[in-house]
Amino acid sequence: MHQTTVRVAEGALDANQTIAEANRADFDAAGVTVINLMSAPGAGKTTLLERALEGGTGDVRVGVLEGDVRGSLDADRLSHLHVPVTQINTDPAFGGECHLDANMVRAALPQVPLEELDLLVIENVGNLVCPAEFTVGEHHRWMISSVTEGDDKPLKYPLMFRTCSLVVINKIDLLPLVDFSMDRFLDNLDQVNPSARTLRVSAGTGEEMGSWRDLILGSA
Amino acid sequence: MHQTTVRVAEGALDANQTIAEANRADFDAAGVTVINLMSAPGAGKTTLLERALEGGTGDVRVGVLEGDVRGSLDADRLSHLHVPVTQINTDPAFGGECHLDANMVRAALPQVPLEELDLLVIENVGNLVCPAEFTVGEHHRWMISSVTEGDDKPLKYPLMFRTCSLVVINKIDLLPLVDFSMDRFLDNLDQVNPSARTLRVSAGTGEEMGSWRDLILGSA
């Protein structure tokens, strides 16, 4: 029984990989760089996207694919930025899927104007577990970890931290008020992903928002 | 293909329900009240448990079942409280399950001294999606939502908020520093679960920790 379960899971992963590769081929054919942006709920994905894009994006044509269990709150928040935003809701399947998979992204691609973009940011469902397990064809896997979540998170959700090349450490303005040691966080991150790049920011106060904007627009 | 997927999911849910009922029967036979405590990563589940239990638990014999993808950091944090703590790691299955299910809890029950307990708190994996979909045989489903996560969360993760009878709103000491309207949060909660009870606390400053302690120990 257990063996059967494992075989099904592996089959599902293989199918995801196959579809992710098809997505990647489409992204590459259109010359679009794709970032899979992940975090826990409320870590600041949407706010950081707003901060990066609200001053205009120069020569870089940016689009956003929003993944949510239900609703379009985040897409609505981004609507004033005048970039194409496409919404995926995971709700129809099984009470709400906790992650985007390659097939959900593939199903949304007809609504994404790839030929008019240089950069597509996919905002995943807020979750530190399953999004790490499903590639969607992205070029870059980035995550946001807010200091209010605690400095133990790299050890508690190792796959997420291990599979991301950039960890944006958000809400650093709250550091004096929360039980979070930056040294401990960086040590813990080093244990699971010594090559991860980090950027310490506050979307709330605007600290290092220029660096964040340069990083995201520069990835295209 | 889509139909097949849905059928498998429903079969899995039914199996979970069957095992959850077996767990519930064991809890009831032993006279143990069980709370399934859920939240996003870093909302404060472990800290709130520490605050509730650190002053002693009077006549109430409390045990904790810790669910984590990997490691025993939270169980280690609770070890000084001198209550029996049992660790479940979801990691062996499929890169880390993002929730506890009834069968994982059942597999751990031989390590839980039910006959010596009045109250068992199950700390679920930090995630606002899938834990809501899997009952484990609990009597009460409670969740913690921290103000740093934003006031839109009831609308973004409706099943979680809908299936919990108590929503503990944590980190209220940070309210002046974050973009969170309590009125908006309560309005959003009312839309998905008008009968939910709420308690506003700060585990950091200790505000309303007495009420929280009374609530959790009084549930036994």
Identify the pLDDT of residue B96. Answer: 80
Give me the residue from A96, A157, A177 closest to B129, CB to CB.
A96
Binning pLDDT at 50, 70 and 90, where does residue A94 land?
low
pLDDT tens column, B87-98: 999 876 555 889
Confidence check: pLDDT of A92 > 90: no
A220 CB-near residues (< 8 Å, 6+ apart): A33, A60, A62, A118, A119
Distance, in angstroms, between A216 CA and closest chain B CA?
Answer: 23
Interface of B with A (CB under 8 A): 5-6, 8-9, 40-42, 68-71, 73-74, 93-98, 125-130, 132-133, 146, 148-150, 152-153, 155-159, 171, 173-174, 177-179, 204
User: What pLDDT, on the 0 to 100 scale, is given for residue B6?
Assistant: 40
Which chain B residues touch A178 with a CB distance below 8 Å? 174, 204
Average pLDDT, stretch B27-47?
98
Average of pLDDT values for A195-219? 97
Least confident of A12-26, B106-120, B201-215: A12-26
Q: What is the pLDDT of residues A33-67, one digit of tens each?
A: 999 999 999 999 999 999 999 999 999 999 999 99
Tens digit of pLDDT for each residue in B120-138? 999 999 999 999 999 999 9
Instruction: Verify whether the Cβ–Cβ distance A159 to B128 is below 8 Å.
Output: no
How is residue B137 written in tokens?
């045989």
CB atoms within 10 A of CB A179: 11
Using the beta-carbon criterion (under 8 Å), do A158 and B70 form an inter-chain contact?
A: yes
pLDDT of residue B3: 34
Given a cut of 80, is residue A10 above it in pLDDT?
no
pLDDT of the residue at B9: 52
ipTM of the complex: 0.88
Is pLDDT of B65 > 50?
yes
Q: Going by DSSP bridges, is the β-strand pair A140-146/A62-68 parallel, antiparallel, or unpaired?
A: unpaired
Query: Do B152 and A128 make contact, defined as CB atoms within 8 angstroms?
Result: no
Contact B148 A152 (CB under 8 A): no
Determine the residue of chain A that is closest to B11 in CA distance. Answer: A94
Q: Looking at the partner chain, which of B94, B97, B129 has a beta carbon nearest the beta carbon of A125?
A: B129
Token digits of residue B81:
């409280």
DSSP state string for B192-212: H-TT-EEEE--TTT-TTHHHH
pLDDT of B205 strictly over 60: yes
Mean pLDDT of B195-214: 97
- Let me know: does B99 contact B125? Beta carbons within 8 Å: yes
Residue among A42, A157, A179 minimizing CB distance to B150:
A42
